[in-house]
Amino acid sequence: MLTPTAKNALAALLTSAAVCFASQPTNAQELPHQALNAEHYNRVAIQESNADPAHPQVVTPETQKDEHYKLVIQVSDADPAKWNLALNNASNIQHELGKANVEIEIVAYGPGIGMLGADSKVADRLAQALDSNIGLIACENSMRKAKLAKENMYGGVSFVRAGVVHIMKREREDWAYLRP
């Protein structure tokens, strides 16, 4: 959410750049709302530190590295290819946004729970994920149904009682959700 100062700065920038909107605002009160839509669709933001409506600083997605993102990834498949895809997604996101700017958790449940086992076919990738501060979370309900104990799981894996509930809570906390 942008501060009022940043909204005004963005509005000034967009106005001075002669950005055309689909519907032209009829009064000054509508402009910040229109500017927010333009920011969303054009992926342009005003840097809130030092935001000055007279001299706004434009930050593109490529240069904006100071935002903090949170992502929860669901993996409920026992397919190593799906797991590698999820792990690749997590790694690519960290690379694009900066490791320090993104918090990522991969939550495994259902048939996917075995892939977090100590003898997993993707064990080497799990080690890389943990080394990159990507959280690996196992659903204890799924473990119980699969007759897996915590001792059977890959070292460094965290546990939650219900994987689906954990994902729901994360979404409520404004974490982005991805299911590869």
- Please report, for the chain, the start and end positions of each structural domain, with discontinuous segments joined by +: 4-59, 69-178
- Whose CA is closest to 8, among 43, 27, 35, 26? 35
- 3-state class of 63 per DSSP? coil
Cα–Cα distance, 38 to 19 (Å, whole number): 9
Query: pLDDT-based confidence at 67, cuts 50/70/90?
Result: confident
Mean of the pLDDT values across residues 41-65?
48
Which segment of 39-48, 103-112, 137-146 scores lowest on mean pLDDT? 39-48
Write down the CATH superfamily of domain 69-178.
DsrEFH-like (3.40.1260.10)
Out of 2-6, 18-22, 142-146, least confident range = 18-22
Which pLDDT belongs to residue 52? 55
Predicted pLDDT of residue 23: 37
106 — phi, psi (to 5°)?
-110, 120
pLDDT in tens, 88-129: 999 999 999 999 999 999 999 999 999 999 999 999 999 999
> What band does 44 get if pLDDT is binned at 50, 70 and 90?
very low
What's the CA gap between 142 and 170, in Å, rounded? 19
**169 pLDDT more than 60:** yes
* CB-CB contact of 45 with 13 (8 Å): no
- pLDDT of residue 24 exceeding 90, the answer is no
User: Cα dist. 40→6, 33, 60, 174 in Å?
Assistant: 14, 11, 12, 17
